[in-house]
Amino acid sequence: MRVVRLLDTALDPAAELARFAAAHAGAGGLVSFLGQVRGGEGIEALDLRHFPPLTLPGIEALADSASARWRLDGIAILHRIGEMPPAAPIVLVAAAARHRRDAFSAVDYAMDHLKSDSWFWKREKRDGAWRWIEPRAEDGADLARWAPVT
């Protein structure tokens, strides 16, 4: 089971995880990661923009790639777009597998690719002004850990 969705409305992580877990009751491990908008330091909002012809197909390809690398019973990648306040959920990645290590690896892989090789442009509203957020060097280093499968 592969679930990939872009959401322009609120993401309900508890409901999504419950639905995913129920669909994979036979899995030995279910791992998830929830990313949320950082708060503090004057941050008022985060805005995620995207290019529709690339974004959803790119995330679908990422889910397929993770499924090809590890033995998964299922993977879910749900990502918000639009403007969000601090503490709002941005991304939920979950993987179900017979064995926990496959699920952990798949979620880690998906998040590194979403952070570094994604199809989103981010801007942050801080102290009343918007500014674009550039990728960090650490994001590229995280992505480099995943050598192509040969």
For the stretch 50-109, pLDDT in tens is 998 999 999 999 999 999 999 999 999 999 999 999 999 999 999 999 999 999 999 999
Residue 46: CB atoms within 10 A of its CB come to: 22
Instruction: Look at residues 139, 138, 115 and name the one whose alpha carbon lies nearest to residue 62.
Output: 115
Domains of the chain: 2-143 (3.90.1170.40)
- 87 token code pair: 């503490």
The whole-model pTM stands at: 0.93
33 within 8 A of 112, measured Cβ to Cβ: no
CB 17 within 8 A of CB 92: yes
Q: Is the pLDDT of residue 140 over 90?
A: no
pLDDT computed for residue 150 by the predictor: 55
DSSP E strand stretches across 1-119: 2-7, 29-36, 43-50, 74-80, 82-84, 89-97
Torsion, Cα of 10, 16, 18, 24 (10° steps): 180
How confident is the model over 125-146, as a mean pLDDT? 84
Report the amino acid identity of residue 42. Answer: G
